[in-house]
Amino acid sequence: MRNSGAPDGPRFGSQLAGQFDSLPGPAGPTDHKMPYRFGYLPPAVCGDWGINPTTMRVVFDNASDIGVGPYVLRADYRSEDHRTTLITQIYGPDALRFYLLREVSFGADGEVSPEGFETRYNTELANEYGNLASRTLAMIGRYRDGVVPDARPAAAVAGEFEGLREAVCERLDAVEITPALDEIWRRIKLLNRYVTEEEPWQLAKDDAQTERLDEVLYTLAEGLRLVSVLLHPFMPRTAERLLAALGREDLSLDSAQLGAVGGGAELGELGQLFPRVEAEAPAA
């Protein structure tokens, strides 16, 4: 493992401070080394989690476009055709990667389950992160014609974001991957509370609150930008989609501070980051 030390270098995302250069791949005739970028869970750390083999199996596909893996298969052995569902094909690899790194502390024993995955997908990914993104972009589109207002971040929120970049880098340098993700998610919850408390839809009704509305909308857009930069190693595709919709695609550590980027960006289309997935009916 290479520790780059200072958190203000130009690299972030898949080339993160404290990144792993490589990890051994599965045993095989070639005994090859597999390139490993942080954010892609290596087979070496998965092992046997004591998962009931009749309900869930962990397998790996080295040729997969998600890098090292993993794929998680759900099989319903109660149905006649014993259909197997590839979770990454339904929910996407980012959602699975997030769940595994959030549910079980990296390097520790723990339990995972389809029910636990679906709970985190719905409550944290869809409701907290995805809904925050949808609401923020929708309000900027409605109240500011799709352009992020030029303002300063709200002081109360800025104080909570102070030192976040350094905290995340320190956690990752110490290979404390789950706590690093926890640091970021605390700020996502904070931004959701901020929306509820400020009620920008009410501010928009009062012309005297124009500057305050600008501050709220800028703070939300800038907060989303920052957490998405820091989430890139965990959920690269999702983070890149949201950053592109925000009109700010810089992934460098230099930009990973609240207020580092001003307003003026024109928003793009986002769609649903984590759409609701309806369970399939059992085969007749």
Written as one string, the DSSP assignment of 82-102 is: --EEEHHHHH-HHHHHHHHHH
- Which tops the pLDDT comparison, 88 or 41? 88
User: Which residues form the domain of 171?
Assistant: 114-255
- Report yes or no: 202 and 210 within 8 Å, Cβ to Cβ: no
The residues facing 22 across adjacent strands are 35
CATH number at residue 237: 1.10.730.10
At 1, the amino acid letter reads M
pLDDT at 25 exceeding the cut of 90: no
Token pair of 103, please? Answer: 């549910």
Q: How far apart are CA 255 and CA 225, in angstroms?
A: 9
Q: Would 143 be classed as within a structural domain?
A: yes
In which order are the strands placed within the sheet that holds 56-59?
56-59, 71-75, 84-86
**Percent of the chain whose pLDDT exceeds 90:** 56
Q: For the residues 81-101, what does the mean pLDDT come to?
A: 76
Which residues does 208 contact at the CB level (< 8 Å), separation at least 6? none
The SS3 of residue 57 is strand
Q: How far apart are CA 268 and CA 241, in angstroms?
A: 10
Which of 46, 20, 45, 14 minimizes the C-alpha distance to 35?
20
Token pair of 235, please? Answer: 């959920």
Q: Would 66 be classed as within a structural domain?
A: no
Domain total of the chain: 1
Q: Would 229 be classed as within a structural domain?
A: yes
Q: Would 275 be classed as within a structural domain?
A: no
Residue 88's pLDDT band (cuts 50, 70, 90)? confident
Q: Would 184 be classed as within a structural domain?
A: yes
**Percent of the chain whose pLDDT exceeds 70:** 67
Count the Cβ atoms, other than its own, within 10 Å of residue 250. Answer: 14
Q: Would 70 be classed as within a structural domain?
A: no
Place of tokens 């890139």: 232
Which of 153, 96, 19, 49 minimizes the C-alpha distance to 274?
96
- Which tops the pLDDT comparison, 112 or 165? 165
pLDDT at 34 exceeding the cut of 50: no
Q: How far apart are CA 30 and CA 27, in angstroms?
A: 8
Q: How far apart are CA 38 and CA 252, in angstroms?
A: 15
The SS3 of residue 28 is coil
Q: Would 3 be classed as within a structural domain?
A: no
Express each pLDDT in 243-283 by its tens digit: 999 999 999 999 999 999 999 999 999 989 998 876 554 44
Q: For the residues 179-194, what does the mean pLDDT come to?
A: 97
Q: Would 274 be classed as within a structural domain?
A: no
At 182, the amino acid letter reads D
